[in-house]
Structure 1
């Protein structure tokens, strides 16, 4: 019979890593919370990629696409605050679903944006009723880990494919260099600067790397277009129902509604 040590794959025994902040902990400084929250938002690619896919299907221009992303980020913030205070209270950012986006794109393309909003509205109400009825624990029997795992892998591959396309852009060599510099900068800050400012620089390595390479260096080299940024106000709140609403613009098509709920 083999010993436990002979079954270890790696050279060292695996051990549990104690998290820096536990589920009920928070940073001592408010600006540190802003840093980690901002970094998490930058890392979460879904609010940037998925709205662009829907916006392209609707036919939005660049200015409308930027506004659409702002709407998405604002809604994500409200949903995350509700979920982390009144909901499951887990440190998880709420955001758009890649599976739902795959349904919304053909709906928007074939039925139009008004039908897409109407179907999402009805689908959201149905999902809310399912959650309130607490029957989800019985429905989980139809979604074993093997099914859920395949779905998560497909979502990851889909988002990774879009992320690579956005990174490559028009195929210029400078785009690859920027991507490698961001990755290299992250490793340098995490390894060589792990004790700088009590570890804050290392924990915010992604945030600092994106700003240093993606905005500062790319801006110096003239690869950042600030025209669209200059045209927009620094602070702006989204209006209610900017694309119509129930009874004044939205359309309800059963085929689209079933597609969203599926």
Structure 2
């Protein structure tokens, strides 16, 4: 029973933290209600499957898969090409569908040729600290805007939504650090349930609507047509894959360190297997016309909060997500979860990530280099977050997607600067 309750909590966390991406992409592509519901179903099915694949044959860590922010950015870039490079939105989505498949093949090939093992050495404590802090800075603005009911720059702050979000955050922190074990262990599930009830009482919860009359509906494959050769999307997929590998490695390192230092668990290096599993998951994303998944660093905050480091409830939760996607009524239920509740609970979880970030920096042997590297990485990464995405639209798709992602650029800067400083230090000592 405990394993099932833990699995349900993982399932709710996975859905609550991932459902915004397919909804947003469906919106920018102008999908109707039925198309949106189908896109959400396919994406969540792929994410649940991806978690199982990683847990069974991949890195074997309790890291949930979520829609990759880089692919999210590419989707937004490509929608602006409709009417220019692509005749219809479906043509653009067909090209992106192909990009997922290309990315999947690249993940597997790079792992097979040993590239992954060499790249892992670049993720030192300083680089991981920089990555985590950039991730927190990048998402904190989204959390706060969601918690005050602001979706666009013209939206006013909604005081009632803010009150509901604040109550949810307070309850989340209380349950996270509660002395009663079962309360802290299931804090995420309890907080989401509490927040949902609060928003119903405040009159800010959506009613549940289903767009399908069928009880069971299986996800469709190749919704936008068979894969097509598109040289532009192939080049984009190549660079995106390299960056996603960096993202994956950072997430794995954070979880490995958490399990070693907080749970005293021995963790074997399965980064190569994790990359192969990511390749399989991207192939699935292409086949099911969904968003490419990536291991989410925020899962370390979830595990640290709930103290659930076992793989069994994680696998159960992932299987529950897969099963839930087959029932339109259940997906409609979760789609009705007030967004501010999800943002409020995730905000509290990411507060735990700040602790993990500073714990990483404490493991750095050469603090002088660490401070210099993180300073440059953080300043450049955070600075790019303030550059309007619209000002980059005239650039090639890959440049626009990458430069608009301060998280990735800041991390790459940290890696480059650290390797340079360490090489210079080594040369001086010779």
Partner of 1:180: 166
The CA deviation string for residues 182-226 of structure 1, in whole angstroms up to 9 with x for no partner, is: 11112333455x32xxx2222112211211222x23223332222
Q: Distance in 2 between matches of 1:88 and 1:232?
A: 39
The TM-score with structure 1 as length reference comes to 0.71
Query: Does 2:58 match 1:58?
Result: no
Kindly indicate whether the alpha-carbon contact (under 8 Å) linking 2:9 and 2:188 is maintained by their aligned counterparts in 1: no
TM, length-normalised to structure 2: 0.46
Correspondence for 2:76: 105
Identify the residue that residue 201 of structure 1 maps to in structure 2: 183
Counterpart in 1 of 2:202? 221
**Shift in alpha-carbon separation, 1:235–1:191, aligned structure 2, 3 A:** farther
Give the count of matched residue pairs: 224
User: Are 1:107 and 1:256, in contact at CA under 8 Å, matched by a contact in 2?
Assistant: no
Aligned mates of 1:202, 1:141 — CA distance in 2: 35
| CA 163–62 in structure 1, closer or farther in 2 if over 3 Å, else same | farther
- Do the aligned partners of residues 65 and 167 (structure 1) sit closer, same or farther apart at CA in structure 2, a change above 3 Å counting? farther
Does residue 37 of structure 1 match 2:37?
no
For the aligned residues, what is the CA RMSD? 2.9
Structure 1 210/36 Cα, relative in aligned 2: closer, same or farther at 3 Å? Answer: closer
Specify the alignment match of 2:220 in structure 1. Answer: 239
8 A contact 1:99–1:155 mirrored in 2: no
Which entry has the higher C-alpha Rg, 1 or 2?
A: 1
Q: Which structure has greater helix proportion?
A: 2
Q: Following TM superposition, by how much is the alpha carbon of 1:180 offset from its aligned partner in structure 2, in angstroms?
A: 0.5
Secondary structure in 2 matching 1:224: coil
Unaligned stretches of 5+ in structure 1?
1-27
Task: Name the residue aligned to 2:235.
Answer: 258
Choose between structure 1 and 2 for higher RCO, CA contacts under 8 A separated by at least 6 residues: 2
SS at match of 2:67: coil
Change (3 A) 1:61 1:174: farther
Distance 1:200 1:226 in 2: 31
User: Which secondary structure does the structure 1 equivalent of 2:162 belong to?
Assistant: helix
Please state whether the residue corresponding to 1:122 is helix, strand or coil.
Answer: helix
Q: What corresponds to 1:123 in structure 2?
A: 103
